């Protein structure tokens, strides 16, 4: 059984007016087969948590640990973390002009697997995954994320999730900016990933809407850089009716 | 004027570092002339020579004839007429004159021009390819190539430079009314070559011209590109890419003269620099004359600095003599790798080296694919890949075309 374990994580960034602590002691354990929803108001540090696990250079871990099956993640480089089985679907995917989606996907797949994918099956796999996510075939030849609409970017992140097939996926507000149809298509993609078994999901969201399609096993309320309350799916229903105010006042 | 800062090289429309000098009359109005006496031997203090390493030109700017030639190979469809003109006959065609000492020398000592003549109402089904090869950096060669395309015709012309020489060259391009021309000049020289070139384009009424400069090889390459319009409605797109290694000096100087109404121009030049003493220069002068109402112009230069010890000079100049225009703008940016792009790629398991290779590949491929001529695109992508393999690392998988 694989486990992603976060212990007492403190993270700060260099801001204009000096160092600013954003995460203030996060504890979280995600086992494979589990889906954890992290819900919290804007600015509470959800993306910071996601980026810190992925190893973004802007975020400095000042205290605590992150481990994958007992192996220290924080000492790994960004690409090593990905090859170890971590995947981050970003809230704002980055544009890389001149690099085609198909070139990028094949390069990433080769990097993750350590060997180039078999051309015969790969082309079909990509095509099928794109069809399932209602991504037009012409996307393969477009520049990575360049000129994609918000929804197209998010679908393209889930396309990578399905093709790269990590062990743990962190989805940072994958639902934001999606219309109902796109939300359903994206959720189905995430559910296909979960159905493979032995996969862990950390679903970061601001709204409860996506939880109608993806049922979490655990819900964590994230406020002011740490987890303020934890529970089962019913906690999401309470947030739906009560909002975050109760927590923000307490925090 | 070297700027090095974090800039995402993809944001062409954001003038992150712009050095626009508006209404500077001094060097925006070169007086073209065939007479060498109009141009003193440069000292390096002149505005148009101030970036050029004059010392490395080894007397190339002296008034000394030479008997040496480049080897010629011409691949042209049957409709193309190729002939040799005397210096006088070449002048008599009435095209734009030289604009500096090296171009005046090129014509004077050329021994005559090679005329590539595409008659009117002709659509070429194959590109015209001129392969010019030098045998030694000890040889001084003066050359003049004339490309003339008649009205309503369509053609692709490729000039390819390989081997080594000290090459002082004039290229005159006369584009007839409503004609469409794609012109590529590939500087694929050996490391010790010197190339002082002037490409003078005259765009006919309602004609469409796209030029593409690729400067990858050579010790010193200085390309001066000038363009003007023979009538209203002409469209000009100028593209350029350069990859500057240690010790290389690669300079592109543009002068686009909007001397006719409703004309358009768009320039996009991109360079990558790596290694100690790599020096690139881009000067983009655009003049919008009083009579040039309703024109549109945009120019952009972006440089990606891959290592320490490089210098990228980038100077856009825009002079506007009429307010009645549709648009005029420019952007210039010089920066290192964009951290967010590298992070995104690495977060997919791609190594830092491979991520950088992909970003540079994309930076150029984004430009190359606008050529729209498959054979040139492949040639340039291969050349860029070769530079990347040499300097950053080999691709993990084959690169898509
Ligand atoms: N690079 C940064 N520099 C300065 N402040 C930052 C930086 N990144 C995030 N922050 C601040 O940290 C807080 C948490 O941000 P973020 O993790 O993006 O929150 P969330 O994803 O929950 O909306 C916010 O107040 C934000 O302004
Ligand atoms: Mg966020």
pLDDT tens sequence for chain A (251 residues) = 799 999 999 999 998 899 999 999 999 999 999 999 999 999 999 999 999 999 999 999 999 999 999 999 999 999 999 999 999 999 999 999 999 999 999 999 999 999 999 998 999 999 999 999 999 999 999 999 999 999 999 999 999 999 999 999 999 999 998 999 999 999 999 999 999 999 999 999 988 999 999 999 999 999 999 999 999 999 998 888 888 888 876 54
| Three-state SS at B376 | helix
Ligand approaching nearest to the C-alpha of A23: 1
| Three-state SS at A85 | coil
Q: Which residue of B has its CA nearest to A102?
A: B400
Q: CA nearest B333: which of B307, B314, B306, B311?
A: B314
Residues with CB under 6 A from ligand 1: A 13, 15, 20, 22, 40, 42-48, 58
CA A61 / ligand 1 centre spacing (Å): 14
Q: Looking at residue A249, what is its pLDDT? A: 63
Q: Please, is B394 exposed, middle or buried when counting C-beta atoms within 10 Å of its C-beta (0-12, 13-18, 19+)? A: exposed
Ligand approaching nearest to the C-alpha of A14: 1
CA A202 / ligand 2 centre spacing (Å): 13
B399 in contact with chain A, both atoms CB, cutoff 8 A: yes
- Is the per-residue pLDDT at B181 higher than 70? yes
Measured distance CA(B326)–CA(B309) in Å, rounded: 41
Strand-pair partners of A35: A201
Measured distance CA(B333)–CA(B6) in Å, rounded: 9
Contacts of B399 in chain A (CB under 8 A): 103
Residue nearest to atom 9 of ligand 1 (CA): A48
Residue with tokens 């794109």, as numbered in its chain: A130
Q: What is the ipTM of this complex?
A: 0.97
Interface contact B350-A144, CB threshold 8 A: no
pLDDT by residue (tens digit) across B123-164? 999 999 999 999 999 999 999 999 999 999 999 999 999 999
Ligand approaching nearest to the C-alpha of A40: 1
Tell me the nearest-neighbour CA distance from B366 into chain A, angstroms.
4
Residue B121, phi then psi, degrees to nearest 5: 55, 40
Measured distance CA(B10)–CA(A98) in Å, rounded: 9
pTM: 0.87
Measured distance CA(A110)–CA(A92) in Å, rounded: 24
CA distances from A154 to A21, A173, B59, B111 (A): 29, 9, 60, 63
B340 in contact with chain A, both atoms CB, cutoff 8 A: yes
Measured distance CA(A78)–CA(A33) in Å, rounded: 24
Residue B32, phi then psi, degrees to nearest 5: -65, 145
Interface contact A57-B339, CB threshold 8 A: yes
Residue nearest to atom 18 of ligand 1 (CA): A47
Put simply, the chain B residues between 369 and 398 with a CB less than 8 A from any chain A CB are 369, 396-397
- Is the per-residue pLDDT at B9 higher than 60? no
pLDDT by residue (tens digit) across B253-289? 999 999 999 999 999 999 999 999 999 999 999 999 9
Q: Which helix (H) or strand (E) holds A98?
A: strand A96-100
Q: Looking at residue B393, what is its pLDDT? A: 61
pLDDT by residue (tens digit) across B195-242? 999 999 999 999 999 999 999 999 999 999 999 999 999 999 999 999
Q: Which residue of A has its CA nearest to B369?
A: A98
Q: Cβ(B350)–Cβ(A108) under 8 Å? A: yes
């Amino acid at each position: 059984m694989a486990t992603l374990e976060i212990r007492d994580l403190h993270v700060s960034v260099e801001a204009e007016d000096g160092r600013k602590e954003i995460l203030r002691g996060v504890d979280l354990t995600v086992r494979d087969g589990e889906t954890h929803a992290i819900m919290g108001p804007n600015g509470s540090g959800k993306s910071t948590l996601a980026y810190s696990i992925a190893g973004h250079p802007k975020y400095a871990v000042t205290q605590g640990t992150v481990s994958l099956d007992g192996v220290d993640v924080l000492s790994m480089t960004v690409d090593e973390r990905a090859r170890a089985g971590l995947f981050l679907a970003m809230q704002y995917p980055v544009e890389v002009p001149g690099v085609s989606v198909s070139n990028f996907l094949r390069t990433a797949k080769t990097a993750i697997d350590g060997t180039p994918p078999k051309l015969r099956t790969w082309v079909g796999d990509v095509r099928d995954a794109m069809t399932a996510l209602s991504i037009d075939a012409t996307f393969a030849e477009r520049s990575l994320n360049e000129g994609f609409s918000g929804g197209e970017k998010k679908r393209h992140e889930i396309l990578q999730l399905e093709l790269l097939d990590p062990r743990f996926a962190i989805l940072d507000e994958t639902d934001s900016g999606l219309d109902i149809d796109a939300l359903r298509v994206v959720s189905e993609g995430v559910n296909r990933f979960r159905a493979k078994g032995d996969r862990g999901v950390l679903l970061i969201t601001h709204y409860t809407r996506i939880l109608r399609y993806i049922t979490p096993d655990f819900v964590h309320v994230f406020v002011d850089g740490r987890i303020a309350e934890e529970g089962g799916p019913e906690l999401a229903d309470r947030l739906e009716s009560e909002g975050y105010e109760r927590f923000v006042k307490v925090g | 004027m070297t700027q090095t800062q974090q800039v995402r090289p993809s944001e062409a429309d954001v003038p992150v570092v712009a050095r626009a000098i508006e209404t500077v009359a001094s060097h925006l109005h070169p007086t073209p002339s065939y007479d060498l006496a109009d141009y003193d031997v440069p000292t390096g203090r002149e505005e148009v020579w101030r970036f050029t390493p004059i010392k490395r030109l080894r007397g190339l700017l002296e008034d000394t004839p030479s008997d040496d030639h480049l080897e010629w190979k011409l691949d042209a469809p049957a409709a193309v007429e190729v002939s040799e003109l005397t210096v006088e006959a070449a002048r008599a065609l009435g095209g734009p004159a030289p604009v500096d000492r090296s171009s005046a020398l090129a014509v004077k000592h050329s021994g005559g021009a090679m005329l590539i003549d595409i008659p009117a109402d002709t659509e070429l089904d194959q590109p015209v390819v001129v392969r010019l090869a030098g045998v030694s950096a000890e040889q001084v060669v003066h050359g003049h190539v004339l490309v003339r395309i008649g009205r309503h015709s369509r053609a692709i012309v490729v000039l390819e430079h390989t081997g080594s020489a000290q090459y002082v060259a004039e290229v005159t391009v006369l584009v007839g009314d409503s004609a469409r021309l794609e012109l590529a000049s590939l500087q694929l020289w050996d490391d010790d070559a010197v190339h002082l070139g002037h490409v003078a384009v005259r765009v006919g009424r309602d004609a469409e011209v796209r030029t593409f400069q690729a400067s990858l090889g050579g010790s010193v390459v200085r390309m001066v590109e000038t363009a003007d319009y023979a009538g209203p409605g002409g469209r000009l797109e100028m593209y350029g890419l350069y990859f500057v290694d240690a010790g290389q000096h690669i300079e592109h100087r543009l002068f686009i003269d909007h001397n006719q109404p409703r004309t358009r121009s768009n320039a996009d030049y991109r360079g990558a620099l790596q290694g100690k003493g790599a020096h690139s220069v881009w000067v983009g002068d655009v003049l919008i004359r009083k009579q040039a109402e309703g024109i549109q112009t945009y120019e952009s230069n972006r440089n990606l600095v891959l290592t320490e010890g490089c210098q990228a000079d980038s100077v856009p100049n825009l002079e506007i003599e009429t307010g009645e225009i549709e648009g005029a703008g420019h952007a210039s940016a010089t920066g290192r790798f964009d951290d967010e792009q590298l992070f995104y790629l690495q977060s997919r398991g791609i190594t830092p080296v491979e991520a950088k290779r992909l970003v540079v590949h994309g930076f150029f491929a984004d430009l190359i694919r606008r050529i729209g001529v498959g054979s040139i695109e492949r040639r340039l992508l291969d050349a860029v890949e070769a530079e990347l393999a040499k300097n950053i690392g080999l691709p993990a998988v084959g690169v898509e075309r």
